[in-house]
Amino acid sequence: MSEPVVALPAWETTRALLRQREPNLYELEPGGALALELNEEGWLLEITPDGRLVCQVGMAMDDIMSLLSDGTPEDLGTDEVAKQAKYYLQPFASKVRPIFLGAGFEENTEMNEAYVAVLFQRAVDFGKPDEIMQTIRWCREQVTAKT
């Protein structure tokens, strides 16, 4: 994520328990967010130290620039590339939008110089690891069923 993240006190305990229960969770950086690839279409689940569970689909800016330029070295502006990436990602997001929003997730778009992503996120309680595991399974099922 782009902003410094302040870890909640129960993060380390919950993090260790989640990695034990779901061995496919991996660290994005030491002590930081845990991630889980949900499918081959680029969906990723993240659990952040500040207590958020994020299901997201995104594209690297380099990938979208390659698609847009069709192999020619055109000088494309970042805004145009981002707009095209969002356009490309919308069909993926629209398949799950009603389900995620109905389950209390918030939708956001995140963009930086490296990527553009559509995020569905909500808060989780580190004191309830069973609920977090249930939400991880639910997210995986929704993304797999709709993609």
Write the CATH number for 109. Answer: 3.90.1150
- Interhelix angle 129-146/78-102, rounded to 10 degrees, is 110
Q: Which residues of the chain have pLDDT under 70?
A: 1-9, 69-78, 146-147
Match 């659990």 to its residue by tokens: 47
128 located within any domain: yes
Residue 1's pLDDT is 44
Is residue 32 domain-resident? yes
Residues 79 and 36 sit within 8 Å (Cβ to Cβ): no
What one-character-per-residue DSSP string does 58-72 give?
EEEHHHHHHHHHTTS
* Tally of CB atoms within 10 A around 80: 12
Q: Let me know if residue 2 belongs to a domain.
A: no
Q: Alpha-carbon distance 77 to 96, whole Å?
A: 30
Distances (CA, A) of 93 to 18, 19, 83, 113, 143: 26, 27, 15, 21, 10
> How many domains does one find in the chain?
1
The whole-angstrom separation of Cα 126 and Cα 8 is 8
> Domain range holding 40?
11-144
pTM of the model: 0.82
Q: Give the pLDDT of residue 65.
A: 75
Residue 76 lies in a domain: yes
Under 8 Å between Cβ of 48 and 5: yes
Question: Does 3 fall in a domain?
Answer: no
